[in-house]
Structure 1
């Protein structure tokens, strides 16, 4: 099922047992912020990006190395070299995603990011080293920026596709099929939002962090809340702006987010995470966040 009908989606999703697959990844991959600078094309529809003067490549590199070291405490994590010709490559989850035995390569809206999909080393890592089948969406015309646009509940096989310039309905359908999902809910993001994973996190299939202001359709917020209740936090403006929804569970008991996001957590949100069995783990990504994304955006998951 792939639908805009929130009632139909919720009814079907409630029948989906958490037996689709592991709720968290078995490994992660990163791309170093080499050549880290303002990507002017990406800035056209990413209101979270800072001005060029705020980009500090050396500081971003140091923080990224600390992120790699922190993740390595939870699961195997590899890091690919960056490329000055692809300044947004530090956010690889938009371009490369995985499902069991498959690597999915997305179609990016902006040309500067389409270059990332052509990387032969990352492609070969999945196809030649891991033996994954490649599902290449990068050459078709519909924007589908993978797990930036599509938040996935890996335990139940559910997708939440926020539509914007970065993902249209056709792109959402292509991703739904590529990841082999049981059901996907499509909804419009609010004007000015570019990716779903900035306004929604589903953590290990059992908790959700939702920034309602990022949704154009309040019924989608209500449906997601109903599905994951009682482990749901509706985020306020401060939490939204600090990338609290750009979080990820890399193991069943850790909710990873940036230090800025952790500092912005309201007590009620902390209580929701604790009640769902999560410990908040944070890494300072202040320099990287100048590029308009945060911790979850940096993580490529290997399932």
Structure 2
């Protein structure tokens, strides 16, 4: 399916912002990843043994899966065979694939070599099919790796599906050329890319750590964006969304790494970590609650060591049933 056809198909589902199905990957090889730590300032080493780390991470994962299913969200557990080379960050599947309501599966170029091993599209298609979700076409941007150009899916792209806008903080993991190529393929009308600056002087490694977009709200740590770009980003978001600004300290507790979902009945839910929930102010929680039931999950081991939180653990599935 070309971009024009994809765009035409999406005309009928413009209001679909939230997935009611997600892919989650068990953290059976989870550990501190030295490769990704080179530009992910959210990762931390701990004194626990690797087995203790994995046991804790697996308990957090299982609890989250159970809770989401109890809330009526379909969870596809995508397991995989262990190979000689470990994939310590496999618990964050949203970085290597995305799906569309028209049945397309996109796979993306990952920046770190041990994360490139996570990309298993054939196995994922089979798992999705077994769960009643139909992939009608495949599209890959993985070849950009040969040019040292990367685009880590919905880690670096925060999607406004209603308005067909992609928000993206440019970085080593978010190449402008690949970003524009994806937008063209998927038929999205606008790409709003921008620079960011952490106190260290480095850019944010993933956009979805600093911002989230829901159907009628957004959360954003806008102080990271240079002023001349910040105004443009906020103006675009404020056109039809309630803008909830978070501080750098709140972002460091993963308040930006949240995701609005729907259950089988169409009820709105907002998944977040317990640390994020505790860091939001009372006013912000009240604001967010108007957009969905708040679902805090304790994933402290995963977010402290892996540098990603609840949103990173959820690969949205917009595929049709089939």
The TM-score, its normalising length taken from structure 1, stands at 0.87
What is the Cα deviation at residue 253 of structure 1?
2.0
Are positions 1:115 and 2:117 aligned together? Answer: yes
Residue number in structure 1 paired with 2:6: none
One of 43, 63, 66 as aligned partner of 1:66: 63
Q: 1:176 to 1:208 in 2, by over 3 A?
A: same
In the alignment, is the contact (CA less than 8 A) between 1:27 and 1:76 conserved in 2? yes
1:277-297 deviations in whole A, cap 9, x for unaligned?
A: 322111100011020000000
1:210-231 deviations in whole A, cap 9, x for unaligned?
A: 11233243234422442244x2
1:65-115 deviations in whole A, cap 9, x for unaligned?
A: 011111112321111125471111100000011012101101111111111
Residue number in structure 2 paired with 1:50: 44
In the alignment, is the contact (CA less than 8 A) between 1:144 and 1:168 conserved in 2? yes
What is the Cα deviation at residue 239 of structure 1?
1.4
> Which ranges of structure 1 fall in alignment gaps of 5 or more residues?
1-16
One of 296, 314, 321 as aligned partner of 1:282: 296
SS in 2 for 1:287: helix
Q: How many residues align?
A: 285
In 2, distance between residues paired with 1:268 and 1:18? 35
In 2, distance between residues paired with 1:125 and 1:293? 24
In the alignment, is the contact (CA less than 8 A) between 2:78 and 2:127 conserved in 1? no
SS in 1 for 2:119: helix
> Which ranges of structure 2 fall in alignment gaps of 5 or more residues?
1-10
Residue number in structure 1 paired with 2:79: 81
Residue number in structure 1 paired with 2:250: 239
Q: How does 1:192-211 map to 2 (within 5 A)?
A: 192-203=203-214, 205-211=215-221
In 2, distance between residues paired with 1:18 and 1:247? 26
In the alignment, is the contact (CA less than 8 A) between 1:197 and 1:245 conserved in 2? yes
SS in 2 for 1:36: coil
What is the Cα deviation at residue 19 of structure 1?
5.1
Q: 1:126 to 1:178 in 2, by over 3 A?
A: farther
One of 193, 217, 235 as aligned partner of 1:223: 235
Are positions 1:295 and 2:310 aligned together? Answer: yes
Higher mean C-alpha deviation, range 259-268 or range 77-86: 77-86
In the alignment, is the contact (CA less than 8 A) between 2:169 and 2:204 conserved in 1? no
1:203-254 deviations in whole A, cap 9, x for unaligned?
A: 1x2100011233243234422442244x211102331111011000111521
Residue number in structure 2 paired with 1:90: 91
Residue number in structure 2 paired with 1:37: 31
Q: How does 1:147-226 map to 2 (within 5 A)?
A: 147-190=154-197, 191-203=202-214, 205-216=215-226, 217-226=229-238
In the alignment, is the contact (CA less than 8 A) between 1:98 and 1:302 conserved in 2? yes
In 2, distance between residues paired with 1:125 and 1:175? 24
In 1, distance between residues paired with 2:212 and 2:169? 12
In the alignment, is the contact (CA less than 8 A) between 2:216 and 2:291 conserved in 1? no
In the alignment, is the contact (CA less than 8 A) between 1:34 and 1:81 conserved in 2? no
RMSD: 2.3
